[in-house]
Amino acid sequence: MSDKPIIIGISGASASGKSLLANTIVNELGSKHVVVISEDSYYKDNHHLSFEERSRINFDHPDSLDHALLIDHLAKLRNNEAIEVPCYDFASHQRLETTTVVSNHRIIVLEGILLLFDQCLRDLMDIRLFMDTPLDICLLRRIKRDVLERQRSFDSVLEQYSRTVRPMYLQFIEPSKRYADIIIPRGGENRIAIDLIKAKIKELLQHENN
């Protein structure tokens, strides 16, 4: 019997339904041993920059993320060590002093836009998923989310989308879907995809327990 957790990566465009899929899987599996970790928590710590400088960072480029820390944390979780996941504030574009302790979970669900771009992260995943949601739908969802939840103005969301979000999707994110084991259309409400993923997770758990 192996005690190593199963790691599932869910990638795709911003607002493509990654978080919805991740949380749906967790809720429907009904296990306290499942945890969701967001790639967004691993944006680099830029507290030394002014707010104006932080606002100009291209947050959709791989260089904006501390994947080295995420990889280190996943390695520790695989060795049954506890980690402290950073907490990130989107309104101020910086990490908070608080962290979230994660430990002793059988299933780790990662969700983020650039997870499949990084080979070291891909190699740690047991299942790789890509949310293939049309960009116009993603934009509408992003506007609603960023204005209501992240205290952003409508104009700033559109400016960022045209300046970095869409170009970086085409350059880095969309090409990474070739590394996915399953490409999921229609976002996080695709019942057939959810049921298939749940069945695969249960199969992996049963295999690990034999």
Pair 166, 56: CB distance under 8 Å: no
Tens digit of pLDDT for each residue in 133-180? 999 999 999 999 888 887 788 998 899 899 999 999 999 999 999 999
Our separate counts of H helices and E strands in the chain read 8, 7
Domain positions in the chain:
6-201
Pair 108, 77: CB distance under 8 Å: yes
Cβ neighbourhood burial of 155 (10 Å; 0-12, 13-18, 19+): exposed
The Cα 137–Cα 77 span in angstroms is 35
pLDDT score for 1: 38
Pair 42, 69: CB distance under 8 Å: yes
Residue type at position 120: C
Where does 3-92 have alpha helices with state H? Answer: 18-29, 51-55, 67-78
Query: Which CATH number applies to 6-201: 3.30.360.10, 2.40.50.100, 3.40.50.300, 3.10.20.600?
Result: 3.40.50.300
Beta bridge mates, 110: 9, 37
Tens digit of pLDDT for each residue in 68-116? 999 999 999 999 899 999 999 988 889 999 999 998 888 899 999 999 9
142 φψ region: left (φ > 0), alpha (ψ -120 to 50), beta (else): alpha
Tens digit of pLDDT for each residue in 107-123? 899 999 999 999 999 99
pLDDT band with cut points at 50, 70 and 90 for residue 181: very high
How much is the pTM? 0.89
